Amino acid sequence: MATTAADLNAIVKPYVKRLQQDLDLDSVFFIDEAYDGVNGALSDVRFIVVSPSFEGMDHTTRLRRLGLLGAIVNSAIQAWPYTPSEIARHSSGEKYDLFLAQFLGGAREVYARSANAPRKNAGGEP
C-alpha cells in the first residue's frame, strides 16, 4: 500500500521499467486516487498503459498480461490496457469508453516514449 509520494515513486519507476522490458510502450498514466474520490492512504495504485503491443489482443488477454507484470512489481497495481489508436479515438472526441472518459482527464502521465526511441516488435524485442 502506497501512503506517501516516496512510496508511490517506489512503485511507479520499477513498474514502468518492467513494462518497458515486456512491451512496446507508448505511455503510462497514473490515476490519482484523490481524483477517484478516495481519501487517506492509497489502497491501489492505478495506471492506464498505452502500447501498440495490445493490437490484436482481446481485452481479457491484455488485462492478464498487465496483471502479471504488475504483480511482479507490487500487488497493489491495477492497470488498464489501451492501444494508441484507442486513445486517439477517445482524444478526437469519440467517447466510446466510459473508463477513459472518467479517468484519463484526471490522470497524470508518468512515462512517454521519446519520439526517436526505436519500436519493439510484437514479442517485445527491438
Cβ proximity of 48 and 35 under 8 Å: no
The whole-number pLDDT of residue 126 equals 43
- Report the C-alpha gap between 53 and 58 in whole angstroms: 12
What residues form DSSP beta bridges with 59? Answer: none
Domain assignment present for 28: yes
User: Between these two residues, 28 and 100, which has the higher pLDDT value?
Assistant: 28
The CA-CA-CA angle for residues 99, 101, 107, to 5°, reads 85
Rounded Cα distance between 126 and 110, Å, is: 22
In three-state secondary structure terms, 114 is: coil
pLDDT at res. 95? 67
Question: Using CA atoms, how far apart are residues 66 and 62, in angstroms rounded to an integer?
Answer: 6
How is residue 84 written as a grid cell?
494508441
The pLDDT of residue 7 is: 74
- Domain-embedded: residue 46: yes
Q: Which of 1-5, 22-26, 31-35, 43-47 holds the top average pLDDT?
A: 22-26
| Domain around 52 | 5-112
Which residues are within 8 A (CB) of 95 and not within 5 positions of it... i.e. 6 or more apart? 101
Q: How many domains does the chain have?
A: 1
pLDDT tens across 44-68, in order?
888 999 999 999 999 999 999 999 9
2/14: higher pLDDT? 14
pTM of the model: 0.81
- Neighbour tally for 90: CB within 10 Å: 18
Between 99 and 125, the more confident residue is 99
CATH code of the domain covering residue 45: 3.30.300.90
